[in-house]
């Protein structure tokens, strides 16, 4: 498959490479010498990437298992959950008849933890942490991140955040239970609910540590992209993956600090008696002292992060998908520059739409109009991207392997979920749809499942780069079809629930006759969720099985890709390239050009050859 044989490529780098005297100093070895510094406190971006990935997978399993448990309660309220007692202990209440039910407090705790874990730990750290770390230095031709030390700290802050959150699952009052958005008053008054006490304190500590991790990572990613590109790697020659990680890091760096401001104010309300977010509250008939605060203020601060956060999640997935589609369609990405401008436009617009989450929170309807308009404008760059993905694979020579299938699945999901966003973005329609299962369906499809698909595409595609072997294709295909069909089975029906007004975050609909005809639909959703969960376990098995038993990677560039990460040795050591650094002579998408199947970025231009899209 590979046209340029391995040894020729080495010659390429030797002749055209750029000697940065990296290996003269031997600084690589001093922190790579033993097991602990190599695999645990590693500063090598390739190891850190795998640490993020495996930690993310751990959390994904926990977060997903939680959703199965609360779905079982919701879909089958009469069935006994007593069999979960060994795991959940007192949170399963068994009545005289021996029927075990999930305690309502813990139902809310599970919903909250599910959201927090998946959004932050899996789809932020696990996705952008993994692939930014792996690909930024490798695709740019850099030896490592700008500061490998801060990079290591970034992982360990994430790890610590995880430890604190994990611990909060086991305390006697339970973890925080007021929803992943942590609105006051439930989050501000320790006595408001059982999870609002220690559980919420730990939630705040954990997420503050998490923000530190994001900021340390982000500073590094941005600095690396702007400063450490190899010779010839102009901004307009960067693969779309890098553009996506770059803009993601900027979004994170500018929006997470605002969340921390909100957290500090929340901490003051909780511990020091201030009333930033609290006003005239009664608890159990007792008037509290708080006056003059506003819970809507917290919502503004939260969603100023919250909306960019959804793009922090989806942009890296978009970048990975663009790359995978182009490689496996054997065609240049369609409209490279339009793709870059769309990423930038989405990044910019992401900052001025946050109040579309608050149409029903009592914000001024005239101000809402402003947010409606900008929200709907986001559909434009989103549509540009969708169009370009479809035209990229149009009439391509498609290899329908696991990474490609997941990338195509991503496009499908992003369309389905994006369309419902346009309904929600209209503040008038949102009166009916807000806080119903329609919203749950919207964001799970467009963000949850789509981002997971982007991540899966990335894992299957770059797995050989990370572990030197391939994942099993049969298991991969079962994983893909099961997840795609299963995910639509779970979330499609939710739109109907939501249009009928079924509210989200309810423990039981037993008291609502109007919703009783949805009982079977709820059962169906629960069964689908359980099956999809089991299929993810198959993925995890495939992942670990393939590290040792997968097909070995025999050539450096098994996919016939053009980007630089495939020019390093199969066992790339510290510093990534053994000798000189490769230099870049073209954009990243020279597929099927002038009778050549593909031309890597480090191959010099032939005489009279016209550049791809890069220098128009």
Partner 1 sequence: MTVGNKRNRFHPQMFALYIAFASIIMMFGAFTSAYIVKQAAGNWLEFSLPTIFYISTIVILTSSLVLHMSYSAFINGQERKYKLFLVLAFLLGLSFLALQYLGWQELYAIGIDLKGSISGSFVYLISGVHALHILGGIAAMIVAMLQAFTLPYQVTDKRKLRFQLTLHYWHFVDLLWVYLFVFILLYR
The gap from C-alpha 231 to its chain's centroid, in whole angstroms, comes to 31
The CB density around residue 33, as the number of other CB atoms within 10 Å, is 10
Contacting residue, 64, 109, 134, 146, with partner 1 by CB under 8 A: 146
SS3 call for 613: coil
Contact 545, 472 (CB under 8 A): yes
Q: Is 424 in the site for ligand HEM (CB under 6 A)?
A: yes
| Residue 340 binding partner per list ligand HEM, partner 1, Cu ion, none, with a CB distance cut-off of 5 to 8 Å that depends on partner kind | none
Name residues whose C-beta falls within 8 Å of residue 200's C-beta, 6 or more positions apart in sequence.
176, 178, 182, 187, 190, 270
Distance CA 611, CA 585 (A): 9
Contacting residue, 425, 476, 498, 612, with ligand HEM by CB under 6 A: 425
Q: Is 143 in the site for Cu ion (CB under 5 A)?
A: no
Contacting residue, 143, 237, 356, 586, with ligand HEM by CB under 6 A: 356
Number of chain positions touching partner 1 (CB under 8 A): 49
Q: How far is the CB of 447 from partner 1 (least distance, A)?
A: 23
DSSP 284: T
Contact 281, 288 (CB under 8 A): yes
Beta bridge partners of 93: 101
SS3 call for 414: helix
> Rg of the chain over CA atoms, in angstroms?
25
Q: Is 307 in the site for Cu ion (CB under 5 A)?
A: yes
Contacting residue, 33, 95, 191, 227, with partner 1 by CB under 8 A: 227
Element (H, E) at 200: helix 198-227
Under rule CB under 8 A, which residues in 296-335 are in contact with partner 1? 297, 300-301, 304
**Segment near partner 1 (CB under 8 A); pick from 140-148, 428-436, 439-447, 508-516:** 140-148
Tokens of 174: 């339970």
- Which is nearer to partner 1, 228 or 553 (by Cβ)? 228
**Segment near ligand HEM (CB under 6 A); pick from 1-9, 56-64, 373-381, 530-538:** 373-381
- Residue in the block written with tokens 């070895």: 29
Q: Is 226 in the site for partner 1 (CB under 8 A)?
A: yes
| Residue 578 binding partner per list partner 1, Cu ion, ligand HEM, none, with a CB distance cut-off of 5 to 8 Å that depends on partner kind | none
Contacting residue, 43, 247, 314, 487, with ligand HEM by CB under 6 A: 314
- Which is nearer to partner 1, 299 or 522 (by Cβ)? 299
Distance CA 180, CA 456 (A): 24
Q: Is 472 in the site for partner 1 (CB under 8 A)?
A: no
- Which is nearer to partner 1, 352 or 527 (by Cβ)? 352
- Residue in the block written with tokens 């990935």: 53
- Which is nearer to partner 1, 223 or 592 (by Cβ)? 223
Contact 434, 358 (CB under 8 A): no
DSSP of 233-258 = --GGGS-HHHHHHHHHHHHHHHHHHH
Which residues make up the interface to ligand HEM (CB under 6 A)?
Answer: 181, 310, 313-314, 356-357, 375, 378-379, 382, 418, 421-422, 424-425, 430, 433-434, 439, 442-443, 446-447
* Binding residues for partner 1 (CB under 8 A): 20, 22, 142-150, 215, 218-220, 222-224, 226-228, 230, 253-258, 260-262, 264-265, 268, 272-276, 289, 291-294, 297, 300-301, 304, 575
């Amino acid at each position: 498959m590979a046209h340029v044989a391995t040894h020729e490529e080495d010659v390429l780098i030797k002749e055209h490479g750029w000697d940065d005297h990296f290996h003269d100093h031997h600084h690589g070895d001093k922190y790579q010498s033993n097991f602990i510094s190599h695999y645990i406190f590693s500063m090598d971006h390739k190891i850190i990437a795998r640490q993020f990935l495996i930690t993310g997978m751990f959390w994904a399993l926990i977060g997903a298992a939680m959703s199965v448990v609360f779905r079982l309660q919701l879909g089958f309220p009469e069935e006994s959950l007593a069999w979960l007692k060994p795991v959940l202990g007192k949170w399963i209440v068994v009545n005289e008849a021996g029927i075990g039910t999930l305690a309502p407090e813990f139902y809310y705790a599970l919903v909250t933890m599910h959201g927090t874990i998946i959004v932050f730990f899996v789809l932020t750290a696990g996705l952008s942490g993994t692939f930014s770390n792996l690909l930024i230095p490798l695709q740019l031709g850099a030896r490592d991140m700008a500061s490998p030390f801060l990079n290591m700290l970034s992982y360990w802050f994430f790890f610590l955040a995880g430890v604190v959150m994990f611990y909060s699952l086991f305390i006697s009052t339970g973890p925080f239970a007021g929803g992943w958005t942590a609105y006051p008053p439930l989050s501000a008054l320790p006595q408001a609910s059982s999870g609002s006490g220690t559980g919420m304190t730990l939630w705040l500590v954990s997420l503050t540590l998490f923000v530190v991790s994001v900021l340390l990572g982000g500073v590094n990613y941005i600095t690396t992209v702007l400063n450490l590109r190899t010779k010839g790697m102009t901004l307009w020659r960067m693969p779309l993956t890098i553009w996506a990680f770059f803009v993601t890091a900027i979004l994170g760096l500018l929006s997470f600090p605002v969340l921390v401001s909100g957290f500090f104010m929340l901490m003051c309300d909780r511990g020091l008696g201030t009333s930033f977010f609290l006003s005239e509250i009664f608890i159990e008939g007792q008037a509290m002292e708080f006056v003059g605060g506003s819970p809507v203020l917290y919502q503004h601060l939260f969603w100023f992060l919250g909306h960019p956060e959804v793009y922090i999640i989806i942009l890296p997935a978009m970048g990975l998908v663009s790359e995978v589609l182009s490689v496996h369609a054997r065609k240049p990405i369609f409209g490279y520059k339009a793709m870059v401008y769309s990423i930038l436009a989405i990044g910019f617009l992401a900052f001025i739409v946050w109040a579309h989450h608050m149409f029903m929170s009592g914000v001024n309807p005239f101000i809402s109009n402003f947010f409606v308009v900008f929200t709907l404008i986001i559909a434009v760059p989103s549509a540009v991207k969708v169009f370009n993905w479809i035209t990229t694979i149009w009439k391509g020579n498609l290899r329908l392997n696991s990474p490609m299938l997941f990338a195509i699945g991503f496009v499908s999901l992003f369309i389905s979920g994006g369309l419902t966003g346009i309904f929600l973005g209209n503040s008038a329609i949102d009166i009916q749809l807000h806080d119903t299962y329609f919203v749950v369906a919207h964001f799970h499809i467009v963000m949850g499942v789509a981002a997971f698909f982007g991540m899966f595409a990335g894992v299957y595609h770059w797995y050989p780069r990370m572990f030197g072997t391939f994942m099993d294709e049969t298991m991969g295909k079962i994983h893909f079809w099961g997840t795609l069909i299963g995910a639509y089975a779970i979330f499609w029906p939710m739109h109907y629930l939501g249009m009928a007004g079924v509210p989200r975050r309810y423990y039981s609909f037993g008291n609502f006759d109007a919703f009783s005809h949805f009982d079977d639909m709820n059962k169906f959703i629960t069964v689908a969720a359980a099956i999809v969960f089991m299929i993810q376990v198959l993925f995890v098995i495939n992942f670990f099985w393939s590290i040792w038993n997968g097909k070995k990677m025999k050539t450096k560039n098994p996919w016939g890709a053009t980007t630089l990460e495939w020019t390093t040795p199969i066992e790339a050591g510290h510093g990534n390239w053994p000798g000189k650094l490769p230099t870049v002579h073209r954009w990243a998408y020279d597929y099927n050009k002038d009778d050549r199947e593909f031309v890597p970025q480090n191959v010099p231009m032939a005489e009279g050859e016209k550049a791809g899209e890069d220098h128009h």
